[in-house]
Amino acid sequence: MKVGLKTQILPADEAAVAVAARCLREGGLVAFPTETVYGLGADAAQAAAVAAIYEAKGRPSFNPLIAHVADLKAARQIARFDATATELAEAFWPGPLTLVLPKTAHCPVAELATAGLDTVAIRVPAHPVAQSILRAFGGAVVAPSANLSGHVSPTTAFHVAGDLTGRVDLIIDGGPVNVGVESTIVACFDQAMLLRPGGLPREAIERVLGHAMQRLPEDAGSDNAQPLAPGMLASHYAPRTPVRLNATEVGDGEALLAFGSDPVPGTDKALAVMNLSDSGDLNEAATHLFGYLRTLDAKGSHAIAVMPIPHHGLGEAINDRLRRAAMGR
């Protein structure tokens, strides 16, 4: 892959799916919608195609990628499922859950995509366009978020084009996504462990497990150490504008990312105001999060002040992304 590619953008239809599958087979890069965010896909078995993803995104090669497959049967060709992993897959796939599991003896996913680990991150997406592409392609597709590494994740094809035009072969425009934050990542080894909160709330997983999950400490991520799974670098999902969390007032020259209906002192002097959800709906807030961060990032403010977000349900994932965004780029 070389910067300067002619990037084609196609509306999602049957013809576009066929073009996408052919492009993947030929080692190309295809951005497409999932229910969480837009992904940047490549044939998981072609090391050169996987390397092109890292180059296009400017992503550290020690940061592993998620392999996307069409169903549980295909997933079993890649990873070994114990009883817990099987229970979670049957409960939540297709959907916004990624499982980190031991690789099978003949796992076809390129070593580069797993960053040399003995484990693989795997997901069955629910979005109909993603499903159609995976079935037409017939294999595993590694697909991190379709944006420049560390930048705010894309929830529309317009966001993808802003970051990756000239760097990828094809963008499939399937409209805005309906979850808005990346998948929840759970490692299934001796016991289930939450590695990254995401579009599937922790509470739903714990109801199926029948017990609470352990979680890695929030400070476990490092930008210099190899992460156990994608999306765990300390600095991630970051706009160029500094982000200030848990804001109870708006300072001079700041933009405001609001939540709920309670007023915040200084709102009248904010350079720009966007409300994740006037009604305090965390599902609505998740769908708006990355798009609103991108919009406020373009306003030229000194900082983006973010009101407090409840930490239950999807609020755990929203706060995780905001915490990493506040680490800067």
Q: Please name which of 307, 293, 33, 3 lies closest in space to residue 151, comparing C-alpha atoms.
A: 293
- Tell me the percentage of the chain whose pLDDT exceeds 90: 85
Q: pTM for this one?
A: 0.91
Domain harbouring 273, CATH code? 3.40.50.11030
pLDDT tens per residue, range 161-217? 999 999 999 999 999 999 999 999 999 988 899 999 999 999 999 999 999 998 876
pLDDT at 1: 42
Kindly state whether residues 256 and 187 are assigned to the same domain.
no
Q: Is residue 236 in some structural domain? A: no
> In the chain, how many domains are there?
2
Domain harbouring 23, CATH code? 3.90.870.10
Kindly state whether residues 77 and 193 are assigned to the same domain.
yes
pLDDT at 59: 84
Q: What is the DSSP string of 74-132?
A: HHTTTB---HHHHHHHHHH-SSSEEEEEEBPTT--S-TTTTTT-SEEEEE----HHHHH
In this structure, the number of other CB atoms found within 10 A of the CB of residue 164 comes to: 23
Cα dihedral 305→286→228→82 (10° resolution): 160
Determine contact, residues 169/30, Cβ cutoff 8 Å. yes
Strands (E), 169-301: 170-173, 184-188, 192-196, 214-215, 243-244, 254-258, 273-275
What's at 254, amino acid-wise?
E
Q: Is residue 228 in some structural domain? A: no
- Alpha carbon of residue 189 to chain centroid: 23
Q: Is residue 78 in some structural domain? A: yes
Kindly state whether residues 49 and 116 are assigned to the same domain.
yes
Residue ranges of the chain with pLDDT lower than 70? 1-4, 217-236, 329
Q: Sheet of 184-188: strands edge to edge? A: 8-11, 170-173, 30-33, 38-43, 141-142, 66-68, 119-123, 97-102, 184-188, 192-196, 214-215
| Residue-number span of the structural domain to which 80 is assigned | 8-220
Cα dihedral 32→205→230→43 (10° resolution): -40
